[in-house]
A and B are shown apart, each in its own frame.
Chain A
């Protein structure tokens, strides 16, 4: 496979995963905003800053943090490189340049999602349209995933796509947890009123983990269980641990099929090991903030190493 194609596959998967994550984040925030008496402005602000696009937003919107401004910025502003519209265009552009590596079903699911986004997001949106639009974006991503698993050869092409997905997903989980790390500190339980409870809920919902967390914990929310679940749980498809198991296994596949050892594989194994050790430590004394910052850095280093290991250019 061409190095350039490997690169396009990797980034196509990252952009798609990111657009799904943004849609889920908005969905969770919307739910939060609608479930309270004030308009949940703080949460909307947090979601803009979380994506790292706060500066562009301020420059464009002169500090008016209205909900309508924010959702339009996050979903359809082409000046925002991480708006769903921008991400879908980039994902499709990458997909177009690797059409020959995709099955017809995978390509169609991507192209149709892109057409649907272009149609739905081509005019200013108001809040009442959000539920259907967000659902559409998430569904498109699910369809793509299904087509991928069901119709593609599980070979190197598949591996690069999965690497992109899980590197991006790990990054998103880190950032989501990191943004609210102070709410997950052991001391938070003391402060923890209903405000904290609803913050944890937003976090879990953004990571599609609300139902599964409740099911496992019989509806009992406490900060340590939430942190443990999102970082260490091996069954939860958006936990850090789960993402790195997948990254490692895809790198192992590549190492086996190319019959070579790669630096990125060593790095990924090391991160997995670090996570296992991290969990066994007393979580009460765990420095969550440093942990998160450290791993966001490690994650981006890993992404760069993958690129140089496999000639992704």
Chain B
């Protein structure tokens, strides 16, 4: 087991953590616990909460915040950054190809069925290139670690990745509570993220308009990520709109305001494809704006991310990413994938059923940690039930080995204790470059031994530092 603070052999402290460890030694445990309560109150007061679907209306929860930062050295970060940029560039090239020409299918690299029979494939996008050629304006790449130099990509979130507000709020909370740590360490700043997001979005519109009107589109206050939507709109200084605030007039997308209407040029949408436009997609959607997609295809408005990007972060496509990188970039993938068995393949299915107790099985179209099986933690009964589901519908699942995820200490009532973590760095794509904000959101499984870090399943978060030069 690799602990990022203490290393594989429980040494004194790995280099990036040296200063933190000596600071921690001087701290009184009770005082730290008190600070932890203060942080929670701060989050509650500001209203950094999320709604859990199915819970009572009034219930808003906090994502638990752990005070102990997670630290990456600058050279570790550079490796990740290079790999992420390569991956995201390939994903954008792949998306453009899939919706225009499909060379990768013709070359026999990816089976046609995998695309055409995929729910995430959007025929409405065929033959259309979004402004600036950008499909995924914002990407969150989930990364796990198993050793000092062993990083794996767990998942690419290319639709509407969330969590960036927690990355930013965690940092400002830490600065507020432990200013001394920030004078002692040279930590790469992240607070410019909203400005960069704004610049990156407006750059896409630069060909047609100088001073584009940007808006954030939210499903509304009952959405689990509503806080983040309002936070980003606020930080960028743009309107936070709902589908009902928009209307399409003479091909332009207009916002209804108290003084009449105004045109909107770029929509950073935080609602799924299905809900964007009842005329083009889900006809029952009450969240969307009729005519929005037509306006988009006519170039009257930019949607970020583009509709149909889900075809690139689908769990079945995931296993092809190394081939995708090779095909478009002519390079070997810098970041490893986790070996993945596609259960649709009969040989794979036999292997997966035989080794169910040691594998992680996920739904191809699932997210948020719902509907997955962690074989090592499941009871005999759970394994048997899951095997039945798997046999009934093998195409719905992929399986991966259970990785010994790295740990970082968290603060518990009885002192520091190691817990498993992952990392979601945030990537901004504009027509001329790809930028990764240093660090990202560290999610931590707060239950001892647990590997599930999702906030909907009791995970917490940590501030994440990139230090040194």
Contacts and interface: CB of A to CB of B under 8 A. Distances in A.
Interface of A: 1-6, 89, 93, 96-97, 99-100, 107-108, 111-112, 115, 156, 160, 254, 258, 260, 310-313
B58 to A, nearest CB: 7
Interface stretch (B10-18, B176-184, B240-248, B345-353): B240-248
Nearest to A309: B258
Contact of A96 (B44, B45, B221, B244): B221
A111 B42 CA distance: 12
Contact of B58 (A89, A99, A111, A310): A89
A6 B256 CA distance: 11
A311 B261 CA distance: 10
A96 B240 CA distance: 11
B258 A97 contact: no
B85 to A, nearest CB: 32
B258 A156 contact: yes
B243 to A, nearest CB: 11
B442 interface: no
Given A99-B240, A156-B258, 12 more contacts: A3-B256, A4-B242, A97-B221, A99-B230, A100-B230, A100-B240, A111-B46, A156-B259, A160-B258, A258-B258, A260-B259, A311-B260
Contacts of B240: 99-100
B205 to A, nearest CB: 21
Interface in B255-273: 255-260
A111 B45 contact: yes
Nearest to B241: A2
B234 interface: yes
B350 to A, nearest CB: 52
B176 to A, nearest CB: 13
B172 to A, nearest CB: 12
Given A3-B256, A4-B244, A160-B258, A115 B233 contact: no
Nearest to A112: B45
A311 B230 contact: no
- Indicate the size class of the contact surface on chain B: 20 to 34
Contact of A258 (B46, B226, B259): B259
Given A3-B245, A4-B242, A93-B221, A108 B257 contact: no
28 contacts: A2-B239, A2-B245, A2-B256, A2-B258, A3-B245, A3-B256, A3-B257, A3-B258, A4-B244, A4-B256, A96-B47, A96-B226, A99-B47, A99-B230, A99-B234, A100-B233, A100-B234, A100-B239, A107-B47, A108-B45, A111-B45, A115-B45, A156-B259, A254-B258, A310-B259, A311-B257, A312-B258, A313-B256
Given A2-B239, A97-B221, A100-B240, A311 B258 contact: yes
Nearest to B239: A2
A89 B57 CA distance: 11
Interface centre among B45, B46, B221 (most CB of A within 10 A): B221
A313 B260 CA distance: 13
Contacts of A156: 258-259
Contacts of B47: 96, 99, 107, 111
Q: Chain A contact residues: over half helix, strand or loop, or mixed?
A: helix
B83 interface: no
B44 A311 contact: no
A99 B257 CA distance: 17
Contacts of A313: 256
A220 B137 CA distance: 72
B39 to A, nearest CB: 16
A2 B45 contact: no
A186 to B, nearest CB: 45
A99 B239 CA distance: 11
Contacts of B259: 1, 156, 258, 260, 310
Nearest to B246: A2
Interface in B204-247: 220-221, 226, 230, 233-234, 239-242, 244-245
Interface string B28-54: 000000000000000011110000000
A2 B230 contact: no
Contacts, number: 61
A6 B258 contact: yes
Contacts of B230: 96, 99-100
Contacts of B239: 2, 100
Nearest to A104: B46
Contacts of A6: 258
Contacts of A100: 230, 233-234, 239-240
A148 to B, nearest CB: 17
Interface string B314-351: 00000000000000000000000000000000000000
Nearest to B238: A100
Nearest to A4: B245
A100 B47 CA distance: 13
Contacts of A311: 256-258, 260
Interface in B395-410: none
A311 to B, nearest CB: 5
B222 to A, nearest CB: 9
B24 to A, nearest CB: 32
Contact of B257 (A2, A93, A112): A2
A223 B58 CA distance: 46
B257 A1 contact: yes
B220 A108 contact: no
Nearest to B60: A96
Contacts of A108: 45-46
A6 B241 CA distance: 12
Contact of A1 (B58, B226, B233, B258): B258
Nearest to A96: B221
Contacts of B226: 96
Nearest to B230: A99
Nearest to B232: A100
Contacts of A254: 258
Contacts of A2: 239, 241, 245, 255-258
A112 B226 CA distance: 19
A69 to B, nearest CB: 23
B35 to A, nearest CB: 20
A156 B257 CA distance: 11
Nearest to A157: B258
B149 to A, nearest CB: 43
Interface centre among A89, A99, A112, A260 (most CB of B within 10 A): A99
